Amino acid sequence: MRVLVSGGAGYIGSVTAARLLARGWSVEILDDLSTGHVAAVPPGAVLHRGRLEDRDLLARVFARPFDGVVHFAARSLVAQSQARPLDYWRDNLGAAVALLERLVAGGAARCVFSSSAAVYGEPPSVPIPEDAPLAPVNTYGRTKLAMEQILADAARAHGLAAVALRYFNAAGADGQRGEHHEPETHLIPRLLRSLLDQAVEFQIFGDDYPTPDGTCVRDYVHVADLAEAHALALEWADRPGFTPLNLGGGRGWSVREVLDAVARATGRALAPAVAARRPGDPARLVASNERARQLLGWRPAHSDLPQIVADAWAWHRAHPSGYGD
């Protein structure tokens, strides 16, 4: 298969690109390096540096059609999306529409899209199935939901085979590739970085949630499992339609359980301060992953929390300054 990976210099995109190459597929990456890293691009992938919204660049990249596209490139900081919503609507939708126009014009049939558990907002119950109410509580989640709707329209009108993968909390590292965001807002890398660099603060946001230990419960899914799901989804998507699939380990872990796992993996004692809840943080987000298991034959084989933390810690210790750029 010949695949274009938008955002393939980023965290999940680079691990996925490496996974697709390992299948013997041909991989090209389009990335503006706004949050990605050249060093994350796997050897063997062609890197086109630039923005998806650059129509001349897209025309050159699509000079030879692709069999499929995996679309990771997006702005994805929740707090920033609340402060600068128009940037998110312009860039997340603009990039997706530009890419889909090219894809449809070139006759390419398959598109696998990075969606998010953020489309569910505050779910009425867990585990969350794909047909739960879609009620995002922030601009980031609303742009993800809008992109899903655009994909569904393109599938209906233009015969696209589209799969939206709704990731829960991506985490862990895969050998040479790990998580390096600036700023880092995700729990596990932020916690690990606070152990390596005193300047990085770590706080628990709220310990008065209606959960067993009062802290928020999240579903962590190993980045290697996410990468495998993308390869499976590209293979599976061989007929027109739109299919949303949850990707989560299917089990919830509280912030305090994550702290315990980190203390065990690192041998360091942790006693972070407790701050107020952040607005819009649901108490519990846990995926039902049955549909991905059934349709794709996907298994979250690496998504046990101790393994996620051990792999992330190995990467952060080997890369204390991330990718160093």
Ligand X SMILES: NC(=O)c1ccc[n+]([C@@H]2O[C@H](COP(=O)([O-])OP(=O)(O)OC[C@H]3O[C@@H](n4cnc5c(N)ncnc54)[C@H](O)[C@@H]3O)[C@@H](O)[C@H]2O)c1
* Closest distance to ligand X from the beta carbon of 53 (Å): 6
H-helix or E-strand containing 255? helix 255-266
x/- contact string, 14-33, with ligand X (CB under 6 A)?
----------------xxxx
Instruction: Return the number of the residue (114 or 194) whose C-beta is nearest ligand X.
Output: 114
Q: Are 23 and 231 in contact (CB under 8 A)?
A: yes
User: Judging by DSSP bridges, how do beta strands 203-205 and 161-167 pair with one another?
Assistant: unpaired
Say which of 11, 88, 120, 140 is annotated catalytic.
140
Three-state DSSP state, 26: strand
Three-state DSSP state, 102: helix
Does position 170 bind ligand X by CB under 6 A?
A: yes
* Closest distance to ligand X from the beta carbon of 176 (Å): 15
- As a whole number of angstroms, the distance between CA 285 and CA 219 comes to 6
x/- contact string, 87-106, with ligand X (CB under 6 A)?
----x---x-----------
x/- contact string, 286-315, with ligand X (CB under 6 A)?
------------------------------
Does position 167 bind ligand X by CB under 6 A?
A: yes
Q: Are 192 and 204 in contact (CB under 8 A)?
A: no
Instruction: Return the number of the residue (43 or 269) whose C-beta is nearest ligand X.
Output: 43
Q: How far does Cα 117 stand from its chain's mean position?
A: 10
Instruction: Return the number of the residue (36 or 206) whose C-beta is nearest ligand X.
Output: 36
In the sheet where 253-254 sits, what is the strand order? Answer: 253-254, 217-218, 284-285
* Closest distance to ligand X from the beta carbon of 162 (Å): 15
Stretch that binds ligand X, among 19-27, 163-171, 197-205, 299-307 (CB under 6 A): 163-171
Distances (CA, A) of 282 to 95, 124, 138, 211, 278: 29, 10, 12, 11, 9
Stretch that binds ligand X, among 7-15, 188-196, 248-256, 276-284 (CB under 6 A): 7-15
* Closest distance to ligand X from the beta carbon of 180 (Å): 8
Q: Segment 46-75, which members bind ligand X (CB under 6 A)?
A: 51-53, 72-74
Token pair belonging to 89: 């609507």
- What is residue 10's DSSP assignment? S
- What is residue 51's DSSP assignment? -
Q: Are 113 and 138 in contact (CB under 8 A)?
A: no
Stretch that binds ligand X, among 8-16, 190-198, 262-270, 298-306 (CB under 6 A): 8-16
Stretch that binds ligand X, among 81-89, 166-174, 274-282, 288-296 (CB under 6 A): 166-174
| Residue 140 known to be catalytic | yes
* Closest distance to ligand X from the beta carbon of 74 (Å): 3
Count of residues binding ligand X (CB under 6 A)? 28
Written as one letter, the residue type at 194 is: S
- As a whole number of angstroms, the distance between CA 127 and CA 124 comes to 10
User: Judging by DSSP bridges, how do beta strands 217-218 and 253-254 pair with one another?
Assistant: antiparallel
Give the interface with ligand X as residue ranges (CB under 6 A).
7, 9-13, 30-36, 51-53, 72-74, 76, 91, 95, 114, 116, 167, 169-170, 181
Residues belonging to the active site: 140
